[in-house]
Structure 1
Amino acid sequence: MVRRNDQRRAALTDAAIEVLAERGARGLTFRAVDETAGLPPGTASNYFTDRDDLLIQTGRRVYERLDPGEEVLREARSGVQDKAKYLALMREVVGRVSGFRSGYLALLELRLEATRRPELRALLTERVRADVETNVEAHAASGLPGDAVAVKLLILTLNWLIVEQLTLPGVYDEEERVQLVEQAVERLVREPSGGGS
């Protein structure tokens, strides 16, 4: 039996992310993953039972790599919780997510593939729903202005802005993207009545 270590699995799923981003779901094969990872042929087949398992594990890996980390979360909870802080957080999210171009493109490929693969659809649905709930709960606990609907609308808005930036970067230039993030926060986030910034 081949020893299955976490570093090798991570290298393989990282390679699968790159393959998905470059070649799409149809190009995702064990051979392509092995080649991209720089590993001997047959390595991926020792770590994943089949292509569905590879897709699911790759989806999990994308989300691991998109995690902001404890330092970012600690910063989000510190200081004055106003619209300026909200805007800074949204800029961080857009920068972090769009900075992982291959991961986001791979995630788009996985979402398309999920329309045909119920197990993958279940995984992604569960993960996205949990992310939305986590964001809503964190927002409620933070003292930031706005409500759960604003959080959900910003998730939807910024996700599509990131799609545009990564797939059709000529639609909006950098200055327009910055302004759109600012206006999304300005228009969607309401200060509590009786308070303000």
Structure 2
Amino acid sequence: MRQNPARRTALLDAAIEVLAREGSRGLTLRAIDKEAGVPVGTASNYFVNRDELLGQVMRRTRERLAPDPAALAATMERAPSRELATELMRQLLARMRADRASNLAMLELRQEATRRPDLHAELSGFLSAEHQEVIDHHLDAGLPGDRTGVALMYFAMLGMIVDDLTIPAVLEPYSTDELIEQMVARLLTPHPPQGS
């Protein structure tokens, strides 16, 4: 059967909303059809099985959460510095807050992956590769810090994002801007001068 790419994207966006709102147990093809406002049975024409659906939802969340290339390029015109790294982390948190559904869906996918070996393998490979790309991009851009410091910074940001999404009261006593500034300052030491 011939499939419409725009319809597939709309179904995946609907699946993300259902997953974020209802959790993994609420994610049914019928629920996706209802959320997308399409006739019952439409989603079943696009997804062979649940594993395929979950894998496609995972990839769609990453598309939705990726930075806008033009905005990122404009930010990266600044000289490499701790200030630039701080700004990038602030933008990351802002993107995560702007698409709460995609982040909550990803948390649900992480939990589902503990029970589904195929999803676990796909999610592990995908997120590991994404993590390495982020570190490589940071270091290739000449930003301060070493591989371990950058990894620690992103793991710390993930913890902050999870709390911000799920139990924001934990962060209420703090300024997230200040936390990010301190995190970058403590974890990203400048590269030593050449020849040292």
TM over 0.5: yes
User: How far apart, in 2, do the equivalents of 1:61 and 1:186 lie?
Assistant: 33
Residue in 2 aligned with 1:133?
132
Counting matched residue pairs gives 194
**Root mean square deviation of aligned Cα:** 1.5
Residue in 2 aligned with 1:153?
152
How has the CA–CA distance of structure 1 residues 8 and 174 changed in structure 2, closer, same or farther, with 3 Å as cutoff?
Answer: farther
User: How far apart, in 2, do the equivalents of 1:53 and 1:174 lie?
Assistant: 42
CA positional deviation for 1:194 = 4.9
- In structure 2, the gaps of 5 or more residues are none
Q: Percent identity?
A: 44
User: How far apart, in 2, do the equivalents of 1:73 and 1:61 lie?
Assistant: 20
User: How far apart, in 1, do the equivalents of 2:115 and 2:144 lie?
Assistant: 39
| 1:70 matches 2:69 | yes
Write the letter of the residue equivalent to 2:107.
Answer: L
| 1:101 matches 2:122 | no
Residue in 1 aligned with 2:60?
61
Measured against aligned partners, the alpha-carbon deviations of 1:2-56 in whole angstroms (never above 9, x if no partner) come to x311110000010000001000000000000000011110000000001111111
CA positional deviation for 1:172 = 1.3
User: How far apart, in 2, do the equivalents of 1:172 and 1:34 lie?
Assistant: 36
Residue in 2 aligned with 1:38?
37
Matches within 5 A, 1:1-197: 1=1, 3-173=2-172, 176-194=175-193
CA positional deviation for 1:122 = 1.4
CA positional deviation for 1:173 = 2.3
Moved more, 9-18 or 167-176: 167-176
Write the letter of the residue equivalent to 2:20.
Answer: A
User: How far apart, in 2, do the equivalents of 1:136 and 1:162 lie?
Assistant: 18
User: How far apart, in 1, do the equivalents of 2:150 and 2:68 lie?
Assistant: 20
TM-score normalised by length of structure 2? 0.94
> Where has structure 1 moved over 2 Å in runs of 4 or more?
173-176, 192-195
TM-score normalised by length of structure 1? 0.93
SS where residue 170 of structure 1 aligns?
Answer: helix
User: How far apart, in 2, do the equivalents of 1:163 and 1:21 lie?
Assistant: 13
Write the letter of the residue equivalent to 2:132.
Answer: E
CA positional deviation for 1:175 = 5.1
CA positional deviation for 1:79 = 2.0
Measured against aligned partners, the alpha-carbon deviations of 1:108-158 in whole angstroms (never above 9, x if no partner) come to 000000011111111111111111111111112111111111111111100
Write the letter of the residue equivalent to 2:145.
Answer: G
Write the letter of the residue equivalent to 2:11.
Answer: L
Write the letter of the residue equivalent to 1:186.
Answer: A
Asked if structure 1 preserves the Cα contact closer than 8 Å seen for 2:146 and 2:191, the reply is no
- In structure 1, the gaps of 5 or more residues are none
User: How far apart, in 1, do the equivalents of 2:184 and 2:166 lie?
Assistant: 23
